């Protein structure tokens, strides 16, 4: 419900040719967190790491030190997991700052859906190991029913305790200051209270503005595609393919299951008020969870070549059937009720390995404060559309299970507006639905691609240093060379943990670094706490 609020940047894609066609001006919303903790403060709280092959693939692209064997310790380092999965010490950690656990509440439909997936032959597995294909009752970034954003988990506990940590809120970063002759980053320029301020770094500048804003800031700093910087009137300090390689996990809103009164969770205003007080007092009940979104299935379509990698993630989102059928666009754009209350399910087949690539550019009329141009290019490659069609077909098999038939769940067969000319349920019909009612689960990555110097598309090297610029790193989801097959919040936190160790390895004595490696404390906290690592910020 925080999407499209004042803590959301409110970004929209540019008008699309192959997707979002039923939405206003053919644009899809791409929510991004404009708040401490970024998008982890407004996301669906899902803790999924992606597959082992995802990271081995990163390494095969020339990113040494980023194999699954290399990154697994950093997932565990953050994690404070006390569910049954924590007994597997090889894959899970219990000493980190980020609590990972299941929601304290599951309604009846969660259990029914779980049984239905098992009826279809999907094994029940821990999808945060090196296996993915199967079903799982998800773990989440939550502590006793309370959201654990990266701000809540990592920053809030030390915010008023660390003398060398200073936080500037209501500050809008304009650019990184880079010496045009030496190509050394030496500070940051930002607006606050309608004034331009500068801070100077003694050692490094670290850019962690996310997949949309990190490329924006780099380009405003003179680092980016020369052709684009020239047309914007910005002097090119170093030409790199900043903003390119944009990838996201795409889905659709158009596949609706109606529930009967047996399991619909719609309630009266009085009952909702009771749930509010229950949550306030005990942090449990319907408002402590995300309905059927707690269920996660990874499956393969006929287009996937690997025998063990999924290409579709199946999620059961929640909806109000009457509204979703009569005005699907308005229903999506107005979050009236929490996820706890619903009488229908949205089957979301989520594309895990898109072939299409987009690009982020500066806003031509207002490059500093204007929203960047997001050319998503969704379904530019037809194979992406075909995979989602197959994902829908697999998801529809849920309706054939004893579990779903028992509760009377049915597919809503009213043709979605704009697709009436196609036979309902045909491949052509589902293609129409997908291209008209395109949606995303908000996982943009890749615009500051990590790769070796010889990679013409790379922006940062495997140490996350910007190619051609000294003392500047990018540490966020934008560095992913290829999107992981799973939700991106946990991998982004892993990147931050590993990035902090890369910084310490450069600036601390090796013996001191090795001793810190053995510490179970979070790398991020060690980074801030290390008094020998003095940025010596000066304010002008």
Written as tens digits, the pLDDT of the chain (540 aa) is 888 889 999 999 999 999 999 999 999 999 999 999 999 999 999 999 999 999 999 999 999 999 999 999 999 999 999 899 999 999 999 999 999 999 999 999 999 999 999 999 999 999 999 999 999 999 999 999 999 999 999 999 999 999 989 999 999 999 999 999 999 999 999 999 999 999 999 999 999 999 999 999 999 999 999 999 999 999 999 999 999 999 999 999 999 999 999 999 999 999 999 999 999 999 999 999 999 999 999 999 999 999 999 999 999 999 999 988 888 887 777 767 789 999 999 999 999 999 999 999 999 999 999 999 999 999 999 999 999 999 999 999 999 999 999 999 999 999 999 999 999 999 999 999 999 999 999 999 999 999 999 999 999 999 999 999 999 999 999 999 999 999 999 999 999 999 999 999 999 866 566 665 555 444 444 433 333 333 333 333
pLDDT at 524: 41
pLDDT at 23: 94
Rounded Cα gap, residues 259 and 267, in angstroms: 14
Of 18, 228, 443, 525, the active-site residue reads 443
The closest of 414, 423, 421, 477 to 450, measured between CA atoms, is 477
pLDDT at 327: 82
Q: Which two tokens stand for residue 67?
A: 């194999």
3-state secondary structure of 137: strand
How many folded domains does the chain comprise? 1
pLDDT at 528: 37
3-state secondary structure of 346: strand
Q: What is the DSSP letter of 14?
A: P
pLDDT at 517: 59
Per the annotation, the verdict on 92 as an active-site residue is no
Residue 400: CB atoms within 10 Å: 11
Residue 121 in any domain: the answer is yes
Q: Which two tokens stand for residue 37?
A: 């903790």
Answer for the pair 98, 154: CB distance below 8 angstroms, yes or no.
yes
Residue 304 in any domain: the answer is yes
Answer for the pair 71, 53: CB distance below 8 angstroms, yes or no.
no
Residue 19 in any domain: the answer is yes
CA distances from 225 to 167, 218, 220, 238 (A): 31, 10, 11, 8
Residue 199 in any domain: the answer is no
Q: Which two tokens stand for residue 466?
A: 């910007």
**Element (H or E) spanning 317, and its range?**
strand 312-319
Residue 6 in any domain: the answer is no
pLDDT at 332: 74
pLDDT at 537: 34
pLDDT at 513: 61
Residue 198 in any domain: the answer is no
Would strands 205-207 and 472-474 be described as parallel, antiparallel, or unpaired?
Answer: parallel
Residue 322 in any domain: the answer is yes
pLDDT at 515: 62
What value, to the nearest 5°, has the Cα angle with vertex 244 and ends 227 and 315? Answer: 155
Instruction: Please state the residue numbers annotated as binding site for FAD.
Output: 35, 173
pLDDT at 511: 57
- Residue 282 structural domain: 13-31+103-137+249-440
Answer for the pair 291, 379: CB distance below 8 angstroms, yes or no.
no
> Where residue 295 sits, what CATH number does that domain have?
3.30.560.10
Rounded Cα gap, residues 170 and 231, in angstroms: 30
Backbone angles phi, psi at 412, to 5 degrees: -75, 115
pLDDT at 378: 98
Residue 270 in any domain: the answer is yes
pLDDT at 325: 86
Q: Which two tokens stand for residue 385?
A: 């559309």
Q: Which two tokens stand for residue 352?
A: 């895990």
Answer for the pair 512, 66: CB distance below 8 angstroms, yes or no.
no
pLDDT at 318: 95
Strand partners, 345: 257, 318
């Amino acid at each position: 419900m925080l999407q499209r609020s004042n803590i959301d940047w409110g970004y929209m894609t540019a008008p699309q040719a192959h997707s979002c066609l039923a939405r206003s001006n053919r644009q899809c919303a791409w929510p991004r967190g404009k708040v401490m903790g970024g998008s982890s403060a407004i996301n669906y709280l899902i803790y999924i790491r992606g597959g082992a092959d995802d990271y081995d693939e990163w390494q095969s692209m020339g990113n040494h030190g980023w194999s699954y064997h290399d990154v697994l310790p950093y997932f565990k380092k953050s994690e404070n997991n006390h569910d049954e999965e924590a007994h597997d010490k090889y894959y899970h950690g219990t000493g980190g700052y980020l609590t990972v656990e299941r929601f304290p509440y599951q309604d009846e439909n969660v259990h029914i859906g779980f049984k239905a997936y098992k009826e279809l032959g999907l094994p029940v597995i821990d999808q945060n190991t090196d296996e993915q294909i199967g079903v799982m009752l998800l773990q989440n970034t939550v502590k006793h029913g309370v959201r654990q954003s990266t701000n809540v988990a990592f920053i809030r506990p030390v915010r008023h305790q660390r003398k060398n940590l200073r936080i500037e809120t209501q500050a809008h970063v304009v650019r990184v200051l880079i010496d045009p002759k030496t190509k050394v980053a030496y500070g940051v320029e930002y607006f606050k209270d309608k004034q331009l301020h500068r801070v100077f770094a003694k050692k490094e500048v670290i850019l962690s503005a996310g997949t949309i804003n990190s490329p924006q800031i780099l380009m405003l700093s003179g680092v980016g595609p020369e052709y684009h910087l020239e047309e914007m009137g910005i002097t090119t300090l170093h030409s790199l393919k900043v903003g390119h390689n944009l990838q996201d996990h795409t889905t659709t809103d158009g596949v609706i299951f109606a529930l009967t009164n047996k399991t619909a969770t719609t309630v009266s205003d009085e009952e909702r008020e009771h749930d509010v007080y229950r949550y306030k007092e005990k942090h449990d009940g319907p408002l402590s969870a995300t309905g059927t979104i707690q269920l996660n299935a990874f499956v393969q379509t006929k287009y996937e070549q690997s025998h063990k990698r999924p290409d579709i993630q199946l999620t059961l989102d929640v909806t109000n059937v009457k509204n979703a059928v009569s005005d699907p666009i308005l229903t999506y754009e107005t979050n009236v009720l929490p996820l706890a209350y619903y009488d229908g399910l949205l089957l979301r087949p989520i594309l895990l390995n898109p072939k299409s690539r987009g690009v982020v550019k500066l806003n031509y009329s207002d490059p500093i404060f204007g929203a960047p141009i997001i050319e998503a290019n969704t379904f530019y490659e037809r194979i992406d559309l075909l995979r989602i069609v197959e994902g829908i077909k697999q998801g529809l098999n849920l309706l054939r299970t004893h579990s779903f038939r028992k509760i009377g769940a049915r597919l809503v067969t009213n043709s979605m507006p704009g697709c009436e000319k196609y036979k309902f349920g045909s491949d052509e019909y589902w293609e129409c639905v997908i291209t008209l009612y395109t949606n995303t689960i908000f996982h943009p990555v890749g615009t500051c691609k990590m790769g070796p110097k010889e990679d013409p598309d790379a922006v940062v090297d495997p140490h996350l240093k910007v190619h051609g610029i000294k003392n500047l790193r990018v540490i966020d989801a934008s560095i992913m060379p290829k999107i992981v097959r799973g939700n991106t919040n946990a991998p982004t936190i892993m990147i931050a943990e590993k990035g902090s160790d890369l910084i310490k390895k450069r600036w601390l004595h090796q013996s001191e670094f090795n001793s810190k490696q053995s510490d179970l404390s979070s790398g991020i906290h060690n980074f801030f706490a290390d008094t020998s690592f003095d940025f010596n910020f000066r304010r002008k």
